[in-house]
């Protein structure tokens, strides 16, 4: 099967085309710093062709959720080394997803001095869990000044450099699911009238400036980008505009010769979404990862049809550390169970056994 074929990703040869999608698990309970159980959890999943480690903040401002990890200081960098070492010892490859939450958060979750910032002072709909105040409505974020924008782009660069020092094979810039670069892309969260808002070209500017500095910092062949057209705030937007924006982005990203572009789908599927995936495949000439609701069979079909190079799996990697071996041997999968997705400790996290393991 194509799923089990090797694949050249930038400077790396992946063992197979099965990618572990980034999964926030909120286990960094001490000072947003990764720990031993996180290293164990990732090393257990090293048979994936590539692990994309969970959304990790490049800034105190980007720690909008409780207990998510950061990578903006030396302690965090040294702590991440345990994870990268454990994965490499198992012959695995691991990128880090850089996730700045922007308006998706709460001041109660931010460390001292952290600010809830976003392209515009428009709150996210819904509620967020906080450390001390239970669930709270998303507050109105501060509109970023041009200096805030420049500083945030610099934070992505520093995070890329720290990821290199920590031993990651590369990074994925999280521009999907409503986080900060996505907040700039979306019309409903970006009301700016300066060079970062208005036209699609202007909305892309923030992401492209991040891509630029990260590529310069660690090499473009070690930088990936994740996007989720038609997800989250974009569902109400004019579809012609969304299609234009993402095709434009894909076309521009060709010139960077990135490690990959990663298309993610979560929740309800508009038919337009999958049409756009196919159009992006035509416009974007480098490695494409698809993610969202795949089974072994549907993943194989996409690869055979030439609609993707690699397929990422999220929820099935949670309860099946040996997902690759289960696919290879047609062993049954452990069922998806949300109970421990966001709890603490090893239960429902690093305590899943391999198939037939006592």
Q: How far is the CB of 338 from ligand FMN (least distance, A)?
A: 8
Helix residue spans in the chain (DSSP H): 36-44, 74-89, 146-165, 180-185, 200-218, 239-254, 271-283, 296-304, 315-319, 323-329
Q: How far is the CB of 89 from ligand FMN (least distance, A)?
A: 24
- C-beta separation of 278 from 243 below 8 A: no
Per CB under 6 A, 259 contacts ligand FMN: no
Q: How far is the CB of 51 from ligand FMN (least distance, A)?
A: 12
Closest CA to 225 of 202, 250, 244: 250
Q: Does the annotation mark 179 as catalytic?
A: yes
Q: Which of 47, 97, 320, 350 binds ligand FMN (CB under 6 A)?
A: 97
> Which is nearer to ligand FMN, 4 or 244 (by Cβ)?
4
* List 65, 179, 246, 349, catalytic entry: 179
H or E stretch covering 97: strand 94-98
Q: How far is the CB of 293 from ligand FMN (least distance, A)?
A: 4
Q: How far is the CB of 211 from ligand FMN (least distance, A)?
A: 16
Backbone angles phi, psi at 299, to 5 degrees: -65, -45
Q: How many residues bind ligand FMN (CB under 6 A)?
A: 23
Q: Backbone dihedral region of 28: left (phi > 0), alpha (psi from -120 to 50 degrees) or beta?
A: beta
Q: Which residues pair with 289 in a beta bridge?
A: 262, 310
Cβ partners under 8 Å of residue 255, min gap 6: none
- C-beta separation of 94 from 53 below 8 A: yes
Stretch that binds ligand FMN, among 20-28, 236-244, 281-289, 300-308 (CB under 6 A): 20-28
* Distance (Å) of CA 38 to CA 1, 81, 202: 31, 11, 38
Stretch that binds ligand FMN, among 139-147, 242-250, 308-316, 327-335 (CB under 6 A): 308-316
Stretch that binds ligand FMN, among 108-116, 231-239, 247-255, 288-296 (CB under 6 A): 288-296
Q: Give me the residues that bind ligand FMN (CB under 6 A), please.
A: 21-24, 54-55, 97, 99, 174, 176-177, 226, 264, 266, 291-294, 313-316, 341
Catalytic residues: 179
């Amino acid at each position: 099967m194509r799923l089990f074929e090797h694949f050249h990703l930038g400077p790396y040869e992946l063992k197979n085309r099965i990618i572990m999608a980034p999964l926030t698990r909120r286990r960094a309970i001490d000072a947003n710093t990764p720990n031993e159980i996180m290293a164990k959890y990732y090393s257990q999943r090293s048979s994936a062709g590539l692990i994309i480690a969970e959304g990790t903040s490049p800034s105190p401002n980007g720690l909008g959720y409780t207990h998510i990890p950061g990578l903006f200081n030396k302690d965090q960098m040294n702590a991440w080394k345990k994870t990268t070492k454990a994965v490499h010892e198992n012959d695995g490859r691991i990128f880090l997803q850089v996730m700045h939450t922007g308006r998706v958060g709460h001041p109660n979750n931010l460390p001292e001095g952290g600010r809830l910032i976003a392209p515009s002072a428009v709150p996210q709909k819904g509620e967020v869990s906080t450390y001390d105040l239970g669930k709270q409505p998303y507050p109105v974020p501060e509109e970023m000044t041009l200096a805030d924008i420049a500083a945030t782009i610099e934070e992505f660069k520093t995070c890329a450099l720290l990821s290199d020092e920590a031993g990651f094979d590369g990074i994925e810039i999280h521009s999907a699911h409503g986080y900060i670069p996505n907040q700039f892309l979306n019309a409903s969260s970006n009301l700016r009238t300066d060079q970062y808002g208005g036209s699609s070209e202007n909305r892309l500017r923030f992401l492209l400036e991040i891509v630029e500095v990260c590529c310069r910092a660690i090499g473009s062949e070690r930088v990936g980008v994740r996007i989720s057209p038609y997800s989250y705030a974009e569902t109400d937007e004019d579809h012609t505009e969304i299609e234009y924006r993402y095709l434009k982005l894909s076309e521009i990203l060709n010139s960077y010769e990135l490690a990959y572009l990663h298309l993610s789908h979560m929740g309800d599927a508009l038919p337009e979404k999958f049409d756009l995936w196919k159009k992006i495949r035509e416009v974007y000439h480098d490695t494409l990862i698809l993610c969202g609701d795949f089974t072994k069979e549907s993943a194989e079909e996409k690869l055979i049809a030439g609609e993707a190079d690699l397929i990422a799996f999220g929820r099935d990697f949670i309860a099946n550390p040996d997902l690759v071996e289960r696919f290879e041997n047609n062993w049954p999968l452990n069922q998806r169970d949300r109970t421990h997705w966001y709890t603490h400790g090893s239960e429902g996290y690093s305590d899943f056994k391999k198939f037939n393991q006592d």
